[in-house]
A and B are shown apart, each in its own frame.
Chain A
Amino acid sequence: SQQGEEDPQALSIQEGENATMNCSYKTSINNLQWYRQNSGRGLVHLILIRSNEREKHSGRLRVTLDTSKKSSSLLITASRAADTASYFCATDAYGNTPLVFGKGTRLSVIA
């Protein structure tokens, strides 16, 4: 079963606006990662946040993690048409289990 679940499933915004995507998960994690997938391509790693971190930044990306609520959010500021893609969260649970990916959020940025 899926560990992470993204919300919303789809999001459409205007260029320049901010985009926020959420991820909820069920069990304790070691870290949580966000990936981007452009149409017809493989996934690309964006950012990793560890369980003892609450917020992390990378360029226009801001990720938060609330382990008490078992949730994370990905904020993309000042979005561009090139940000149009699907975004997936992936959770790394403790132990030897591999990463588990959510079903993704499809982001459309309209120029």
Chain B
Amino acid sequence: NAGVTQTPKFRVLKTGQSMTLLCAQDMNHEYMYWYRQDPGMGLRLIHYSVGEGTTAKGEVPDGYNVSRLKKQNFLLGLESAAPSQTSVYFCASSYSRVEQYFGPGTRLTVT
């Protein structure tokens, strides 16, 4: 099993550009999450999903949108990137509300 995979691994955007980060899991997990990690801030939850077709806001949702059209995929969109969105983005999935499995991360730089 590949576990949780993230695409792309690195990306550089100019301010105002848009992009979509893809997260895929092959563990048949119901729950999926998007986090951002910034130095000194720990992990902050952006959006999450408790099942196919559902999404919910986390701690820092502004400037991001998500979709969960298929159970195995969770997409994170930036419609108009800003320098404040420079961060490392992690996707995670879980079977229930306990142990989360994390992807390797996407390093995004917005100039």
A residues near B, CB below 8 A? 2, 30-31, 33, 35, 40-45, 48, 88, 90, 92, 98-104
B residues near A, CB below 8 A? 4, 33, 35, 40-45, 48, 58-59, 90, 92, 97-105
**B97 proximity list for chain A (CB < 8 A):** 30, 92, 98-99
Q: Do B102 and A33 have beta carbons less than 8 Å apart?
A: no
Number of A-B pairs whose CB atoms are under 8 Å?
Answer: 51
Q: Do A42 and B98 have beta carbons less than 8 Å apart?
A: no
Given contacts A43-B100, A43-B102, A103-B41, 17 further A-B contacts (CB under 8 A): A2-B42, A31-B98, A33-B99, A40-B105, A41-B104, A42-B92, A42-B102, A43-B92, A44-B102, A48-B98, A48-B99, A98-B33, A98-B45, A98-B48, A98-B97, A99-B45, A103-B40
Contact of B98 among A33, A88, A101, A102 (CB under 8 A): A33
**Minimum-distance CB pairs A-B, first 8:** A42-B102, A103-B42, A101-B43, A45-B99, A43-B102, A42-B104, A101-B42, A42-B103
**A104 proximity list for chain B (CB < 8 A):** 42
**B48 proximity list for chain A (CB < 8 A):** 98
Report which residue of A33, A42, A45, A102 has the largest number of chain B beta carbons within 10 angstroms of its beta carbon: A42
- Closest A residue to B42 by beta carbon equals A103
A42 nearest CB across to chain B (Å):
3
A-B residue pairs in contact (CB < 8 Å), sample of 11: A30-B97, A41-B105, A42-B103, A42-B104, A42-B105, A43-B92, A43-B100, A44-B102, A45-B101, A98-B33, A101-B43
